[in-house]
Structure 1
Amino acid sequence: MPVKGLHTAAVLMGAGLMGAGLVGAAGLPASAAAGDTTPPSAPGALWHCPLPADPGSGLGIGVSLCWGAATDDVGVTAYDVQVKQDGVFTAIRTTTGPGSIVSGLTLGQSYTFRVVAKDAAGNAGPPSNELTASAGYLSGMPPSSPPPSPSPIDRTPPTRPEGPEPYAAYVNGAAGLTWTKSTDDVAVTGYTVYAWIDGAFTPVTAQLSSSGDRVVGVVYNLTPGRDYLFYVVAKDAAGNISAPSDLVRQRAMVEPPVASPSPGTDTTPPGTPTGMATVTGMDIPGGVFLAWYTVSDDSGIPPRYDLFRRTDHGYAYEGENGTPRDIVTGLEGGKPYTFQVVARDAAGNLSNPSAPYTAIAQPGGTSSPSASASPSASASPGSGCRVTYAATTWDGGFTTTVTITNTGTAIVDGWKLAFSFPLASQRVTNGWSAVWTQAGTAVTAENYAWNKTLKPGQSLYLGFNGTYTGENPKPASFTLNGTTCS
């Protein structure tokens, strides 16, 4: 199918980037592996890589893409390179290697790409991250004579959608929201609605209508009676995307409504968190310490809190806490960050989000504070822990987020996390929110002075960058102060 912004004469050129040159394209094999129903993994990080071609090669105008190889139980046979067009991704190239050249583009125009891996049976895995890149000269040098002046490029995004509110949609499994129309220097061409589903914000199909200066979006096919968080971004014809709206909570309609809930069913959300503020007096380089007022729930069980940080075009989940406070690290010192928090009870009911609060990250770049945990720290009565290890892997490198949760009944005052890599080639290069050391395959992370205390139900978020060769399996087990964690 034709894709706007790509010239029909030469949509794409030879594609797999391997070694220092170009290899020809290859499609899917003629026969599929019978009985294989397991899709490949998502490809590793997609990035705009340097073009492996000599200056003056005359490859035209386009973008050079690289990504980390995907894995499969049988074998990855192809990658589909997809470009976003009118909010929908379309496959425009199939290649066998972890790279592709996309040519025939418009000089200076931005394009958004992603990659999907396939196996011989035709199973398609989840997509890679999305990458937006501007088209340039693929030869690495401008032509000998100046090209015609391109049309003015629209680089101004629309304003963010303001004033999001719930909107009643009387259809079973539907949830509605409304917001003030965005504006743009040219024109707003549409909106994308995101919903918090199973621990991640996902774009969802919304039926849009407008009245005056307000837009109404109705999302269908949700779970009736379930609470959802939403936000909205606006877009223009050039592909510019606005900053996200504030978060808004809405419950999917149960239609027709029942006279009363089933006995014992909890449908009442917790109270709305208020009073978010910065806690001062702690040295947290590149971080902020946030606290807010405790809220209650009709069940009598204290709710948990989910903290979200606004990014350029969406929200980052900073994790959950059993207490009304959180320390966020890994930020840029001196930069403002906006947060909202939501309370969640044991039945999954969500409160309305708190009002947005903007905090300034403490200056970073200081030398590491001395760790106060003793290497010989031992488990105490009532101790218990849970560790999650989530790695984003690309060719030769990876970034890992580690979450430590105190599942015991005692306060942890000083901690040391320990684990071992399965392979000798896996190495920690640098980390944050802990003092990281490695000897052979053994890795330890010890607290700083500002994050030594871990209360029951509280979670800590730390991480590191690393390198590897071949495979990058996760550690088999973790201990905290000598206690094996779940």
Structure 2
Amino acid sequence: MQLGRRALGAVLLTFGIITLALLTAALVIVPAGEAALAAVPAKDVAYAAGAAGAADDTRPPTRPAGLRPCPVPFAPTKAASRETGYASICWSASSDDTGVAGYDLYRLDAKGFVLAATTTGTVGGFSGDLGRLYTMYVVARDSAGNVSPPSTLITVAAVRGMTPTSSPSPEPGDHVPPSKPTGLRDACLPDYKGVSFCWQPSTDNVAVTAYDVYRETATAYTRVGTVSPSSYLIFMESGLVTGQRYTYVVVAKDEADNVSQPSDPLSALSGEGFPTPSPSCTVSYRAATWSSRLNAEITVRNIGTTPIDGWRLTVDYPASTTQLVSGWSADWTQSGARLTGTNKQWNKVIPVGSTTQVGFTASYSGSVPAPVSFALNGRLCVVD
């Protein structure tokens, strides 16, 4: 019996020595960092690795594509006195090196694009006035906060269920949006340093009050300017990279904050413009006023290096409330807010350093107008 106990003790001692040796070997061959992680539960190790990966991730997801109308089967509802529908779209999933965390859907209103919905799937939408058209775009996000380029714009109607519904009864107030801006054309001001483009006016049942211009950026469509209605609509943006193309859309809106569908996108080139010539003239202007009329006297001096042989002087006023009545020492005409004087035969040549004096009488309404610019043969003059 005693021998059996001694044998058992020896076995236990041998097992303890072997176990200690294995533990020692494990500590020797495992690097310090991994030995520290060995004490962390497996799920926490995975979380720590994911967090580290997210911190190092700077690559955004791909641009959402394949946008299409995708109404969902909601029951008809009413909010206050207006029937509501649901504006909904589907899109193809974006890809990302660490995985897409979600999608943000932006809706266009009179103040710009606003966040309308967030989803982890590829279907999204929001409630709206039944039958009304809504423009939207989608961006994808990953867990590191990187945001994809914006999708193309899509315009869909707010409907009920999977099939389009009849238009609701009209309600008091203006709910008709302006027509879609068309005819966008690049380089409408070729000597401008930057982007310049123009388009055709929209129509509205009441009146168009403004045009908002949006430029596509790395993650959004950003409003970069607003243009007032006129017979010639042009937008200009400076401070861009010369030689690079930028994508723009134009949206018309009315006084009731109805917004049109965006124009078709325009890819506009940022040009280097033409060199600005040195002024060749100075202008002195003075005007006497009486009973809503003004008598303008203009002295033009040639400060260039060669005689001016034949000239056209343009005088631009800020508003077309100024109306030409008569003029002298030039043949005067008017187009809009611009008055133009063309030389007489006897004052056709202005020698270097010499002056010529011209003038006109005009009527006006409101406050006394002051010219905003003078140009001789298309080149701006310095105002004394």
TM-score by length of 2: 0.49
Larger % of helix: which?
A: 2
TM-score by length of 1: 0.40
Report which of the two structures shows the higher radius of gyration computed on alpha carbons.
2
